[in-house]
Chain A
Amino acid sequence: MIKVHLWSGLRRLAGGAESVTVQAATVGQMFDAMIAAHPGLEPFIKAGVSVVIDGEVTAGGRNLAVKPENEIYLIQRVKGG
């Protein structure tokens, strides 16, 4: 299981939870499991969210591996600087 921390406006879409725990080995599986558990997240995840793994904003897409020991944050994209 991996723990995904939610940031900014994403928490309200997961019942106010600060984090969700899902079974996933890749970012793509993580997204799918999160959407299955909290369908309200779908439009925002599909619109693009930043995945921060161990402090690094990733660009690896759905195939990027995630592990239980990773610190994972999902940050909603915002416009501007």
Chain B
Amino acid sequence: MCRELSLDPLAVRLKNAAKEGTKSSYGPTYNRIGLVETLEATMAHPNLSAPLGPNQGRGVAAGFWFNHGGETSVSLQIGEDGTVGVSVGTPDIGGSRASIALMVAETLGIEYEAVRVNVVETGSLGVNEPTHGSRATFASGKAAVEAAESAIKQMCARAAAEWGIDPEAVEWVDGSARPAGENAGKFPPLTIGEIGAKMGGTGGPISGHHESVPGGVGASFGVHVVDVEVDPETGKSTVLRYLVVQDAGRAIHPAYVEGQYQGGAAQGIGWALNEEYVYGADGRLQNPMFLDYRIPVASDLPMIDTVIVEVPNPGHPYGVRGVGETGIAPPLAAVANAVAAASGARLRSLPLSPPKVLAAIKANK
């Protein structure tokens, strides 16, 4: 539509962008989302003004995925040396342990290195849905923060008992319990290490546990821009540039967030250009191994450029939106648009494999 009307596809998306209060594609009304900010960041990126040569074309697409809450259990233990162990039930497939450790460290006011996150099984922890629905950093992270808050309350109570004051008169600041103001009395701060070292004689072990089905999920929108060159002799498409711009809510561990963006793009490029089952006349799969089932490897791809947009999710204490799956939504359309712009071959089925593209180019002549 944009091509026929000579409109900028990003400007059209911006004009029609879903925002807070818009009905989502799956029915309910969105809360705060960051599609507008994501589109604006995309339009400001230098890849949009990179010159295109012969047989080259640019494609854009936008997509989204929400994240799931799901049954979630987290335990947290204060060590006698002031270090903290966190047990979660969501296997780490994209950096969630590091992200959860960062959130716990921030909540407790201690160093990241003092927090160790382990993935344990249901018998050790409680029921957990697995890592799916882009939920691990969102749901286990939210539960871990709640567990840390519970432990903080207990540590403040231990300090209050030692000082002989009301627990409500103690606050937790920078990894230690302190009297909350002049009226609470004058006592030197008790660090998490000091409280942990003495906990055997002050009431026993200190831990926090939280189980819930976390609410407050936040949708994450992404915009992809891809430049391809199509060889008119063979129909082979080569990805020249690829840009992922996505709203992470708040990127707790930016490098892992970037990895999720790049992984989604790389897998999506494979789906768009190559991945397919090829069956013989006898019904047998002809490409059952990765030697023949073509997924992109590093030498097939350019550096996947990324921009992390941060529009905090109001439903999470650190603004997290699940980012794992959004990245796989736009690549198929973005690549197909780029191939069409480069070659004139507007294919309606994937993958855009060289034989299909070549046939479409010849049909257009």
Query: B residues within 8 A CB of A57?
Result: 68-69, 215, 217
Q: Out of B26, B65, B213, B315, which one reaches A59, CB within 8 Å?
A: B213
A5 in the interface (beta carbon within 8 A): yes
Residues 1-48 of A at the B interface (beta carbon under 8 Å): 5, 7
The distance in angstroms between the C-alpha atoms of A81 and B94, with both chains bound, is: 14
Q: Is the CB of B27 within 8 A of A73?
A: yes
Interface range for A: 10 to 19
B37 in the interface (beta carbon within 8 A): no
Q: Is the CB of B133 within 8 A of A81?
A: yes
A-B contact pairs, 15 of them (CB 8 A): A7-B26, A52-B27, A54-B29, A55-B29, A55-B30, A55-B31, A56-B216, A56-B217, A56-B315, A57-B215, A59-B212, A73-B27, A80-B132, A81-B132, A81-B324
The distance in angstroms between the C-alpha atoms of A80 and B76, with both chains bound, is: 29
Known: A58-B215, A59-B69, A59-B212. A81 touches B27 (CB 8 A): no
Mostly helix, strand, loop or mixed at chain B's interface?
Answer: loop
Q: Is the CB of B215 within 8 A of A71?
A: no
Interface residues of A (CB under 8 A from B): 5, 7, 52, 54-59, 71, 73, 75, 80-81
Query: B residues within 8 A CB of A55?
Result: 28-31
CB distance from A64 to the nearest CB of B (A): 11
Q: Is the CB of A71 within 8 A of B26?
A: no
Residue of A nearest to B213 (CB): A59
Residue of B nearest to A59 (CB): B213
The distance in angstroms between the C-alpha atoms of A56 and B213, with both chains bound, is: 12
Mostly helix, strand, loop or mixed at chain A's interface?
Answer: loop
The distance in angstroms between the C-alpha atoms of A55 and B31, with both chains bound, is: 7
B325 in the interface (beta carbon within 8 A): yes
Query: A residues within 8 A CB of B325?
Result: 81
Residue of A nearest to B212 (CB): A59
Known: A80-B132, A81-B132, A81-B133. A52 touches B28 (CB 8 A): yes
Other than A54-B29, A57-B68, A73-B27, give 10 A-B pairs with Cβ distance below 8 A. A7-B26, A56-B315, A57-B69, A57-B215, A59-B212, A59-B213, A80-B132, A81-B65, A81-B133, A81-B134
* Residue among A5, A55, A71, A75 with most chain B CB within 10 A: A55
Known: A57-B215, A58-B215. A71 touches B28 (CB 8 A): yes
